[in-house]
């Protein structure tokens, strides 16, 4: 067997991974047009409106609201769904802070459901266990572009009369049984931050089918102003608080051009991800990133597991060996489940108080001990994560498979 690069042997990957340009003439042209409007305010200009329309059409839904980030989009969705102090929102412990920020800003309490060991998405069983009379919404994260089990989740929501918000920040053009993720729940939320499939620097989008929900969300993203009103009095008919999460015309302009790239980006990532899973699935102890039958992932990242009992070294050495061969892999995704963060351990969402955890509207004890979501904890300890992009060549993907094959075989043979 060939010696590992980690121990002085030859490296598998001898060429750099292919890269490409994410922005070009179409973005420049859109931005130029935006500037020529002589306004960058979404309500006066046409770029954000056009972006909304194009986004909604792409997803086949009637309504779309633009926001300043994915975090903002999720906050708007929660606000529009009426999430408030005293409520609980069930979400995933393996996610970005952007999933829980809006929950806390609405003074609601995040409740974490456990995940599937191989899709890494929250399971219907775990959600059901966590439902209480305080549960107002389920915020489903389609982690890494891989759909969660939506049929069962929608059924639970229907049974308990609660809302479902889909966090699609990592899940553009992700399909669940032939349906686009983001169109299945009450609201779908997307991110345009620079690390996502498409980027406008920062930005967020919400899609929905219900007109009433749309009207509330539209206002909630813009200080609760009623822009559609005719008089100042109508416009400023304010009954509730809402943040300013407006998208500027510059962001909308870039977004319009970026949408044209999504088919290529998600299509290629899907192809590379499936090729990768196919290439590593028979290796000893390896479980590829599981995408269930009939679903389609857009692979924002790739995360697989090796059974620690099959592996004859500790996981860190295994990861070091992958890296030495030329694959920048890492252990886990985030270092710990979200509930392990100091914010939840010390209940210090806000400086100087324990709100919303000790709210009298809530009136319950909540705690976030180790073991709360044992599968999530294990996944983050045992999974191996890396990314690939739509610019990678087929040879790049073959090299990744060769690296995983070499290192896994090396450390699993006796």
**Tokens, residue 228:** 């559609």
Using the minimum distance from each CB to ligand PLP, give the nearer residue, 195 or 361. Answer: 195
Q: Is 199 in the site for ligand PLP (CB under 6 A)?
A: no
Q: Which is nearer to ligand PLP, 170 or 297 (CB)?
A: 170
Main-chain phi, psi angles of 377, to 5 degrees: -60, -45
The reply on whether position 325 binds ligand PLP by CB under 6 A is no
Segment near ligand PLP (CB under 6 A); pick from 9-17, 157-165, 166-174, 324-332? 166-174
- Residue 271: CB atoms within 10 A of its CB come to 14
Binding flag, residue 174, ligand PLP (CB under 6 A): no
Would you count residue 98 as binding ligand PLP (CB under 6 A)?
yes
Q: Does 126 bind ligand PLP (CB under 6 A)?
A: no
| Closest separation in Å from C-beta 98 to ligand PLP | 3
Distance CA 388, CA 273 (A): 9
One residue of 91, 123, 183, 193 binding ligand PLP per CB under 6 A: 193
Which of 52, 99, 106, 183: binder of ligand PLP (CB under 6 A)?
A: 99
Closest approach of Cβ 409 to ligand PLP, in Å? 33
- Is there binding between residue 96 and ligand PLP (CB under 6 A)? yes
Q: Does 204 bind ligand PLP (CB under 6 A)?
A: yes
- 127 lies in the binding site for ligand PLP (CB under 6 A): no
User: If binding is defined by CB under 6 A, does position 412 make contact with ligand PLP?
Assistant: no
Element (H, E) at 213: helix 211-220
Which tokens sit at 44?
A: 């006066």
Determine if 95 is a binding residue for ligand PLP (CB under 6 A). yes
DSSP E strands in 54-213: the ranges are 63-67, 88-91, 109-112, 135-141, 163-167, 175-176, 179-180, 187-191, 204-208
Residues 6+ apart with CB under 8 A from 250: 31, 34, 35, 40, 47
Q: CA–CA separation, 120 vs 118, rounded Å?
A: 5
| Whole-angstrom distance, CA of residue 187 vs CA of residue 214 | 9
* Residue 243 interacting with ligand PLP (CB under 6 A): no
- Using CB under 6 A, pick the residue from 123, 146, 191, 295 that binds ligand PLP: 191
DSSP-assigned states of every residue in 285-310: TEE-----TT-B---SSEEEEE-TTT
Q: Cα–Cα distance between 282 and 134 in angstroms, integer?
A: 45
Q: What are phi and psi of 370, to 5 degrees?
A: -60, 140
Give min distance, CB of 410 to ligand PLP, in A: 33
Residue 170 is a binding residue for ligand PLP (CB under 6 A)? yes
Interface with ligand PLP, residue 141, by CB under 6 A: yes
170 versus 408: smaller Cβ distance to ligand PLP = 170
CA distance readout (Å), 218 to 34, 65, 111: 22, 6, 27
If binding is defined by CB under 6 A, does position 124 make contact with ligand PLP? no
The least CB distance from residue 211 to ligand PLP, in Å, is 26
Q: Which residue, judged by CB position, is nearest to ligand PLP in the bound state?
A: 70
How many of the chain's residues bind ligand PLP (CB under 6 A)?
A: 15
69 binds ligand PLP (CB under 6 A): yes
| Residue 177: its H or E element | none
Q: What are the CA-CA distances from residue 41 to residues 7, 177, 223, 236 (Å)?
A: 58, 39, 14, 17
Contact at 8 Å (CB) between 295 and 146?
yes
For residue 167, state whether it binds ligand PLP (rule: CB under 6 A). Answer: yes
Q: Which residues bind ligand PLP (CB under 6 A)?
A: 69-71, 95-96, 98-99, 141, 167, 169-170, 191, 193, 202, 204
């Amino acid at each position: 067997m060939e010696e590992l690069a980690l121990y002085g042997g030859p490296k598998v990957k001898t060429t750099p991974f292919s890269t490409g340009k994410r922005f070009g003439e179409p973005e420049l042209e859109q931005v130029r047009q935006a500037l020529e409007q002589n306004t960058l305010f979404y309500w006066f200009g046409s770029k954000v409106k056009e972006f909304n329309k194009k986004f909604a059409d792409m997803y086949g839904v009637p309504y779309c609201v633009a926001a300043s980030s994915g975090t903002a989009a999720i906050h708007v969705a929660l606000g529009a769904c009426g999430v408030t102090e005293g409520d609980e929102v069930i979400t995933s412990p393996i996610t970005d802070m952007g999933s829980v920020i809006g929950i806390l800003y609405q003074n609601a309490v995040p409740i974490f459901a456990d995940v599937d060991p191989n899709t890494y998405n929250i399971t219907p069983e775990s959600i059901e266990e966590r439902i209480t009379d305080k549960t107002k919404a389920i915020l489903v994260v389609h982690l890494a572009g891989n759909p969660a089990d939506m049929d069962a989740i929608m059924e639970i929501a229907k049974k308990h009369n609660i809302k479902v918000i889909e966090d699609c920040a990592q899940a553009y053009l992700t399909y669940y049984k032939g349906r686009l993720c983001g169109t299945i729940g009450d609201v779908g939320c997307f991110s345009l931050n620079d690390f996502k499939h498409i980027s406008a620097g920062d930005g967020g989008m919400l899609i929905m089918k219900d007109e009433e929900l749309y009207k509330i969300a539209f206002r909630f993203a813009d200080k609760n102003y009623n822009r559609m009103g005719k008089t100042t009095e109508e416009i400023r008919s304010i009954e509730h608080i809402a943040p300013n999460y407006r998208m500027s015309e510059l962001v909308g302009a870039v977004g319009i051009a970026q949408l044209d790239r999504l088919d290529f980006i998600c299509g290629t990532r899907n192809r590379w991800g499936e090729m990768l899973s196919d290439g590593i699935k028979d290796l000893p102890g390896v479980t590829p990133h599981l995408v269930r039958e009939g679903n389609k992932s857009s692979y924002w990242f790739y995360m697989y597991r090796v059974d620690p009992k099959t592996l004859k070294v500790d996981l860190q050495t295994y990861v070091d060996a992958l890296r030495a061969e030329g694959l920048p892999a890492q252990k886990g995704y985030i270092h710990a489940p979200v509930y392990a963060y100091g914010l939840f351990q010390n209940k210090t969402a806000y400086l100087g108080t324990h709100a919303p955890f000790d709210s009298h509207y809530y009136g319950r004890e909540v705690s976030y001990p180790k073991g709360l979501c044992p599968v999530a904890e294990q996944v983050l300890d045992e999974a191996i994560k890396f990314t690939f992009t739509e610019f990678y060549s087929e040879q790049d993907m073959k090299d990744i498979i060769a690296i995983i094959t070499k290192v896994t075989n090396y450390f699993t043979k006796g």
